[in-house]
Amino acid sequence: MTPDSRIYAYSAVLMGSPILLKLFEHNESLASGVFRLIKLQESTFTVNRPHSDIMAINHAAGRDPVTVSEPVFELIRRAKAISCLPDSSFNFTIGPLVKRWKIGFSGHSIPAAQDLQTLLSLTNPEDVILDEHTRSVFLQQAGMEIDLGAIAKGYIADVVRDYLRDQQVENALINLGGNVQTLGAGAEGAWAIGLKKPFASPDELIGVINVTGKSVVTSGIYERYFELDGHRYHHILDPKTGYPLDNELLSVTIISEDSIDGDIWTTLLYGMGVEKSLEYLKQIPHIEAVFVTHDGQIILSSQRQFAFTPLDDSYRITTY
């Protein structure tokens, strides 16, 4: 991508990730407004601090229902519905396992198989009781913990997009560390979003995804992991076994209108693997995927909403 003098970039570190905002005008106060909004959202949804709306629910597990705001209730309702789909690899009650593994945080370790079994019994999404009338959330068992880590960034990216739209911004890009949402087009008639080379330095790309006004979300096992005795343990857990999901995939990227869909689908498709995902995506034309596999393939489900430019000859491209 050639640098364009019309683009102004603003950055911050929030939600444990580098955040990047690109605008077509120099507007410090707009950028501060965006970062303030993200901070506010983060303080609502985080489970990495003692207090937040979600932590209030977790602290009251097995004891009391907790009334939350409308947007928090809606996000939890959505997360529960996806988690309860048959064979879903998305589970928003995975918190106890995430906290035990501590993947990507200091103090990580491999839990004993017995511990995993105990913790798995605290991850039944049906045990989250939602009451629409009181807008309350109740975790039925003590020790249960909601974790919206797989969905919150996508949700927040859409909140930022809506805020920018309200401010009459026509062209912008927000990158929340792997979750990109765009308004309008970039400098060359489309925004160029890099597809990272797995386990390489962050600026090494194997391709570029061009979109206008779409979201591009990537979930990769190289984002957060630790290695022990020749094994790699990454941060996307299999809700059935409690261990990191293990299949042919290194990353899944979703191109969609809403970033929340991208965030949900990366996790769902990760669990399905390539073949099943490609079959599944035939029925949902508004969701498109780019898979990168261990054996050096880049697989594109379709290319209706984006264009792909490969940058690394060592990867084989397959298009469906």
Cβ-based nearer residue to ligand AMP, 89 or 182: 89
Tokens of 291: 């898979």
Among 55, 61, 72, 98, which residue interacts with ligand AMP (rule: CB under 6 A)?
A: 98
Choose from ligand AMP, Mg ion, none: what does 147 bind? Cβ within 5-8 Å by kind: ligand AMP
CB of 263 to Mg ion, least distance (A): 4
Choose from Mg ion, ligand AMP, none: what does 237 bind? Cβ within 5-8 Å by kind: ligand AMP
CB of 41 to ligand AMP, least distance (A): 15
Between CA 277 and CA 273 the distance in angstroms is: 6
Choose from ligand AMP, Mg ion, none: what does 236 bind? Cβ within 5-8 Å by kind: ligand AMP
Between CA 260 and CA 154 the distance in angstroms is: 4
Site string for ligand AMP, 160-199 (x = CB under 6 A): ----------------------------------------
Among 46, 58, 91, 259, which residue interacts with ligand AMP (rule: CB under 6 A)?
A: 91
Among 239, 281, 288, 289, which residue interacts with ligand AMP (rule: CB under 6 A)?
A: 239
Which one of the spans 85-93, 162-170, 186-194, 304-312 is the region binding ligand AMP (CB under 6 A)?
Answer: 85-93
| DSSP three-state, residue 266 | helix
Name, in order, each residue with C-beta under 8 angstroms of 227's C-beta and a sequence gap of 6 or more. 233
Q: Taking Cα atoms as reference points, which of 305, 296, 299 lies closest to residue 273? A: 299
Among 237, 250, 269, 290, which residue interacts with ligand AMP (rule: CB under 6 A)?
A: 237
Cβ-based nearer residue to ligand AMP, 33 or 104: 104
Q: Taking Cα atoms as reference points, which of 48, 71, 98, 27 lies closest to residue 260? A: 71
Distances (CA, A) of 133 to 55, 130, 198: 21, 9, 46
97 φ/ψ angles, rounded to the nearest 5 degrees: -75, -45
311, 205 in Cβ contact below 8 A? yes
| DSSP three-state, residue 268 | helix
CB of 35 to Mg ion, least distance (A): 22
Between CA 278 and CA 272 the distance in angstroms is: 9
CB of 155 to ligand AMP, least distance (A): 11
Chain position whose Cβ is nearest to ligand AMP: 149
Using CB under 6 A as the binding criterion, the count of chain residues that bind ligand AMP stands at: 17
- Give the dihedral sign, CA 91/292/184/157: positive
Per CB under 6 A, residues contacting ligand AMP are 89-92, 94, 98, 147, 149-150, 219, 235-237, 239, 263, 266-267
